Structure 1
Amino acid sequence: MFEELPVKITPQALEAIKDIKANKGIPADYGLRIGVKGGRGCGGAQFLLGFDHLKEDDAVYQLEGIDIYISKKHFLYLLDVQIDYEETEEGVGFTFTKQQTS
């Protein structure tokens, strides 16, 4: 098990996640899955966010009462990624930003 969550979840995103979990009929035994799809070739990786059940190769984290599941094979792709929740004129939703490290 990894010690520290590899992604940063902003307070706005965490509140939106808690709201979705509480009000959208998500089963109590589901956690928040953070992952990637793709990542090979020119297209790059797409980030994934959703509620799911625990799988055998998941690392498990806790953040303010929310279980977070990350497949161990996705861990390196998620290092230094920030998850935010925005409400703009263009729409509402979660954003993923790769943070620059010095």
Structure 2
Amino acid sequence: MTEQTTPAPRRPRPKVMTLTPRAAERVRSIMASKGPEIAGLKIGVKKGGCAGMEYTMTWADSVGKFDEVVEQDGARVIVDPQAVLYLLGTEMDYKTDKLSATFVFNNPNQTGACGCGESVNLVPAGKTELESLKD
């Protein structure tokens, strides 16, 4: 007779990034205006700009097999799998002032930025940061 074992429950995975209440409210509001066919706001990074990399944001109609999903306060952010190591530990905020309103990324992996703020210098999260997620 073979003994069946129940697999150990999976430990919840830490979020790649978090959203401030203002960012979650803004993403949720825009998602609602886009309609139910929108799966979420997809965040990524690409090479470009004078500092080397730029954040990307697009509306996604589906979640890819390897995408990371961050759901917070009714907002859904989808993180491109190629951006995970660059965004690990990032806090996304939404700031408004007299002349503009924009999403702001408070990223511990950012080592520099250009003067205009459109591009950043990012390094992948290190082994120490990855190990801390296992605790």
1:17 to 21, 27, 36: 27
Tell me the residue number matched to 1:43: 51
Query: Taking every aligned residue pair, what percent have the same amino acid on both sides?
Result: 28
Rounded to whole Å, the distance in 1 between the matches of 2:107 and 2:76 is: 22
Coordinate RMSD, CA, aligned: 2.7
Structure 2 residue runs without a partner (length 5+): 1-11, 110-128, 130-135
TM-score normalised per structure 1? 0.75
Q: After superposition, what is the alpha-carbon deviation per residue over 1:27-81, rounded to whole angstroms, capped at 9, x for unaligned?
A: 4352221111117xx6322112232122233123332333332222210100122
| Separation of aligned partners in 2, 1:68 and 1:8 | 9
Equivalence for 2:80: 71
Distance in 2, matches of 1:26 and 1:36, equals 25
Equivalent position SS for 2:93: strand
State the distance in 1 between where 2:18 and 2:108 align.
9
Q: State the partner residue of 1:95.
A: 104
Task: Kindly report structure 1 stretches of 4+ aligned residues shifted beyond 4 Å.
Answer: none
Q: Report how far residue 5 of structure 1 moved.
A: 1.7
Q: Quick check: which one's strand share is greater?
A: 1
2:63 maps to what in 1? 54
Q: Which runs of 5+ in 1 are unaligned?
A: none
Higher RCO (Cα < 8 Å, 6 or more apart): 1
Say how many residue pairs are matched: 98
